[in-house]
């Protein structure tokens, strides 16, 4: 059964902010620790302090300026068990007519690159977070798939939403800020209340955030509601 046709811009709207939320938590945890990866143990490590089971999503080359999906990487001899989420993205692309997910290798640009693919894949695969491991000739995109990974964010929810959302729309080209916020609030399991060009995110019938949008669906203002 084929689902609705999707494109990269639509998938960014749906997943970018929630995935960015996960990245903020990961970055606060690992800081500037060096990374290493052991193919045999399937563990991504940060300065020997944190070790997580991961999946390999793909690689990006600085030499050829291209992205390659891990399922298409025959040189690395990646074990099949590390390719499950990469194949999941390929399968999603076939079912939803997303050509970029079906092509083994693509030229990199602002909308097609390691971070964009990892953001989207984190959402589709429901991964804990993603990590881009940079090396001399490029980078490797990992999806953290470890039940022991503890995603803890102690910030007040309203402040968290405001910070994560404004950070996401400033760094990522998101064509519909309004819909992106709705998807993010739904990810956080908040109720969404819409009034003309205003959206409220509600937790147990109490307003947590209020956001106002322009007619072109770009953000005008967002604030935490105490």
- pLDDT recorded at residue 1: 35
- pLDDT recorded at residue 2: 40
| CA atoms of 160 and 166, how far apart (whole Å) | 10
CB 35 within 8 A of CB 45: yes
Q: Transcribe 86-103 into DSSP letters.
A: HHHHHHHHHHHT-GGGTS
Inter-CA distances, 182 with 108, 195, 211, Å: 29, 13, 10
Neighbours of 102 (CB within 10 A): 14
- The encoded tokens of residue 19 equal 């995935």
Chain centroid to Cα 203, Å, comes to 24
- pLDDT recorded at residue 5: 55
Say which residue the tokens 């409220």 belong to: 200
- The encoded tokens of residue 8 equal 């990269």
Length of the chain equals 226
- The encoded tokens of residue 51 equal 């070790």
CB 144 within 8 A of CB 26: yes
The DSSP output letter for 115 is H
Q: What is the pLDDT along the chain (226 residues), one digit of tens a residue?
A: 344 557 999 999 999 999 999 999 999 999 889 999 999 999 999 988 899 999 999 999 999 999 999 999 999 999 999 999 999 999 999 999 999 999 999 999 988 999 999 999 999 999 999 999 999 999 999 999 999 998 888 889 999 999 999 999 999 999 999 999 999 999 999 999 999 899 999 998 788 999 999 999 999 999 998 6
Q: Structure pTM?
A: 0.93
- The encoded tokens of residue 191 equal 């109720």
């Amino acid at each position: 059964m084929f689902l609705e046709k999707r494109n990269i811009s639509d998938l960014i709207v749906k997943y970018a902010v929630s995935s960015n939320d996960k990245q903020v938590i990961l970055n606060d945890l690992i800081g500037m620790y060096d990374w290493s990866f052991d193919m045999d143990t399937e563990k991504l490590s940060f300065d020997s302090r944190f070790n997580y089971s991961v999946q390999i999503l793909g690689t990006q080359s600085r030499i050829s300026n291209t992205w390659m999906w891990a399922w298409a990487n025959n040189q690395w001899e990646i074990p099949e068990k590390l390719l499950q989420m990469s194949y999941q993205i390929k399968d999603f692309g076939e079912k939803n007519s997303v050509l970029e997910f079906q092509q083994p290798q693509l030229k990199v640009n602002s909308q097609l690159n390691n971070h964009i693919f990892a953001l989207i894949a984190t959402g589709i695969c429901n991964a804990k977070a993603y990590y881009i491991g940079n090396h001399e000739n490029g980078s490797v995109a990992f999806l953290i798939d470890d039940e022991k990974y503890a995603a803890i964010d102690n910030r007040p929810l309203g402040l968290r939403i405001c910070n994560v959302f404004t950070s996401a729309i400033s760094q990522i080209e998101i064509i519909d800020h309004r819909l992106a916020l709705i998807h993010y609030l739904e990810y956080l399991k908040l109720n969404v209340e819409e009034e003309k060009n205003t959206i409220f995110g509600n937790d147990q019938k109490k307003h947590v955030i209020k956001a106002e949008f322009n007619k072109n669906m770009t953000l005008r203002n967002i604030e935490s509601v105490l």
